[in-house]
């Protein structure tokens, strides 16, 4: 689908024509970029349910790529995101999947660069709001609508308490927190949504704690 103007898909508040299929898709792509932390070189988008059926007509493809390039929903470059992807050397593919998912607007994004890879499953729940349901095999619930940190850590006694204590030292209030693990005593993932953006100094201090292997932030 071709757009003459940014206003063909972006309304005064959110991306259209469908807030679920375009604004939400852009937000999922943007969250994936923030979590990956480096410029992606390739991406594969696996689309499920209504995403798979209408992704071209509703601009879901443009929005996903634009978000992955770092474009927010109001960015005037969004309509030309496929051209910008070519300029930046980002190769991408779209795959229409038939498997049934719990939510009709579901996408699995696989991306990579510099030998690193990441896999994320996100859903668009309406009104431009999204949830990340899975990250590299860890089940989670991350809205992407609030500042948050993701902490990969060894599943050891005291690891969670040390992170929450460090946040308290910096007077950062936790709005939502959950922990996911694949196997007891192995690698685990903390997802912590907070009330304000977290500084790089705070992130570095958390990364220095015992049993912490990686800290990533998402800003609002």
Residue 37 shares a structural domain with residue 113 = yes
Residue 59 shares a structural domain with residue 117 = yes
Q: Which two tokens stand for residue 133?
A: 């349901």
Q: Which CATH number characterizes residue 85's domain? A: 3.30.1330.90
Residue 100 shares a structural domain with residue 29 = yes
Would 213 be classed as within a structural domain? yes
Q: Which CATH number characterizes residue 200's domain? A: 3.30.70.260
Residue 12 shares a structural domain with residue 35 = yes
Residue 208 shares a structural domain with residue 107 = no
Last residue of a domain, one of 99, 126, 142: 142
Q: What is the pLDDT of residue 129?
A: 83
Last residue of a domain, one of 142, 161, 193: 142
Q: Give percent of the chain above pLDDT 90.
A: 65
Phi and psi angles of residue 196, each rounded to the nearest 5 degrees, phi first: -150, 160
What is the spatial distance between Cα 134 and Cα 118, in angstroms, rounded to a whole number? 11
Last residue of a domain, one of 88, 114, 142: 142
Give me the residue label for tokens 């009709």.
Answer: 104
Helical segments of 39-98, H only: 50-54, 60-68, 81-88
pLDDT in tens, 110-141: 999 999 999 999 999 877 788 999 999 998 88
pLDDT in tens, 172-189: 999 999 999 888 889 999
pLDDT in tens, 64-122: 999 999 998 888 898 899 999 999 999 999 999 988 888 789 999 999 999 999 999 99
Would 94 be classed as within a structural domain? yes
Residue 112 shares a structural domain with residue 171 = no
Residue 74 shares a structural domain with residue 163 = no
Query: Domain residues for 61?
Result: 6-142
* CA 142, chain centre distance (Å): 8
pTM for this structure?
Answer: 0.81
Number of domains in the chain: 2
Count of all residues that appear for the chain in the document: 220
Would 73 be classed as within a structural domain? yes
**Number of other CB atoms surrounding residue 174 within 10 Å:** 14
Name the strands in the sheet holding 129-135, side by side, starting at the edge strand that comes first in the sequence.
91-96, 42-49, 105-113, 116-126, 129-135, 138-142
Q: What is the pLDDT of residue 30?
A: 93
């Amino acid at each position: 689908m071709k757009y003459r103007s940014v206003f063909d898909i972006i309304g005064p508040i959110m991306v259209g024509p469908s807030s679920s299929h375009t604004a939400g898709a852009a937000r999922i792509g943007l969250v994936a970029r923030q979590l990956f932390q480096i410029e992606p070189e390739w991406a594969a988008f696996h689309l499920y349910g209504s995403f798979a059926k209408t992704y071209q007509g509703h601009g879901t493809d443009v929005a996903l790529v634009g978000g992955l390039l770092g474009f927010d929903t109001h960015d005037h470059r969004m309509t030309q995101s496929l051209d910008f992807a070519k300029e930046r050397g980002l190769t991408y593919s779209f795959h229409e999947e038939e498997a049934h998912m719990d939510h009709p607007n579901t996408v699995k994004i696989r991306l990579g660069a510099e030998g690193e890879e990441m896999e994320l499953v996100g859903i668009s729940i309406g009104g431009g709001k999204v949830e990340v349901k899975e990250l590299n095999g860890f089940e989670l619930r991350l809205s992407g609508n609030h500042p948050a940190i993701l902490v990969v850590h060894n599943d050891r006694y005291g690891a969670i308490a040390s992170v929450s204590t460090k946040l308290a030292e910096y007077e950062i209030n936790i709005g939502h927190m959950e922990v996911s693990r694949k196997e007891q005593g192995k690698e685990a993932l903390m997802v912590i949504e907070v009330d304000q953006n977290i500084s790089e100094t705070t992130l570095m201090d958390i990364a220095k704690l015992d049993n912490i292997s990686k800290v990533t932030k998402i800003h609002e």
